[in-house]
Amino acid sequence: MTTIPSQLRGAIIRVDPNSVILPAGVGDSELTELRSSRETVERLSVAAADLPLLRGQLPEGLTRLNVRGPEVTEPRWPERFWLCDDLSVSLQGVAADTISHLADLGRTVIRLYLYDSPDLTTGSLEPLTRCPELYDLTLSGGVPDTVSLEPLTRCPKLLSLTLSGGVPDAVLDSLSGCPGLKFLTLGDRQRPAETALTAAGVSRLVKSCRQLWWLYLHCTADTGQAVLTALKEADLGRDRDGEPRTIRLFVPGELCRQLKSQEGRWVKVWEWKY
């Protein structure tokens, strides 16, 4: 990791031949230098206030963009989808309205990681509907029960969603019927007891999202047991071939060993190793 000086001004940090950190308050000289290396920069970190300046200016070879808030000292680079030239973005310690700039960058955003954004609102998620190729979204730190995730149900390519931290039932209910969702990760790996979901809320969501097949769950043993029981008792419907729909429930090692013997015909328990 590369530490960013708190008052960095007037100099580009080149982390390695393919990675660049732009100073806060980026000027014409930095943008000129960035344009001169358009094909070689694959990772770029930029201050949130300067993001609008990069509209149409992103290096052609860029695959990972980190947008950092004023208190960030180390960029958290987004993961890159293997053999894909589209853009993965991490928003780190920024105001939630920073999301609104993503659709205007002139690049196809396929993955988005939102870290440490306490002012998240339903309205701040609305611009994601203008990112038609977005397929993978992570919301870290918990989503308040006052925030509706309904805009995500209008993201046509959204395939995978991770909600870490507390996950109130009201948040899960707002995702009802998300059309293309196949992978759902719920809970906090470090603090499973703070995963504020209920078995009833999870069951309702699974039943309403007809394409959901993989459910990854970090929670207490009691909640995991309740979720498994609720899914076994639920009418999960049928797949596109008319066969009974099967849900794969992934839980960490010890919980997996507790639940494996209780799995049902249409609810299979797998160990979550990563």
The answer to whether residue 9 sits within a structural domain is no
What SS3 state is found at 115? Answer: strand
CATH of the domain at 62: 3.80.10
- How far is 184 from 163, CA to CA, in rounded Å? 8
The answer to whether residue 12 sits within a structural domain is no
- How far is 207 from 227, CA to CA, in rounded Å? 13
Structural domain total, the chain:
1
Closest C-alpha to 67, from 85, 86, 87, 39: 87
Q: Which residues contact 27 (CB under 8 A, 6 or more apart)?
A: 10
The answer to whether residue 252 sits within a structural domain is yes
By mean pLDDT, which of 13-17, 70-74, 79-83, 243-247 is the weakest? 79-83
CB burial readout 201-221, b (16+ within 10 A) else e = bbbbbbbbbbebbebbbbbee
pLDDT at residue 24 in the model:
86
Across the chain, what does the average pLDDT equal? 87
The answer to whether residue 18 sits within a structural domain is no
Alpha carbon distances (Å) from 38 to 42, 59, 61, 93, 133 = 9, 4, 7, 27, 23
The answer to whether residue 251 sits within a structural domain is yes
Q: How confident is the model at residue 153 (pLDDT cuts 50, 70, 90)?
A: very high
The answer to whether residue 24 sits within a structural domain is no
What SS3 state is found at 168? Answer: coil
**Structure-token pair, residue 39:** 């094909």
Which residue range is the domain that position 231 belongs to?
47-271
Q: Is the pTM of this model over 0.85?
A: yes
User: pLDDT tens digits for 85-107?
Assistant: 789 999 999 998 999 999 899 88
User: pLDDT tens digits for 169-216?
Assistant: 999 999 999 999 999 999 876 665 556 788 999 999 999 999 999 999
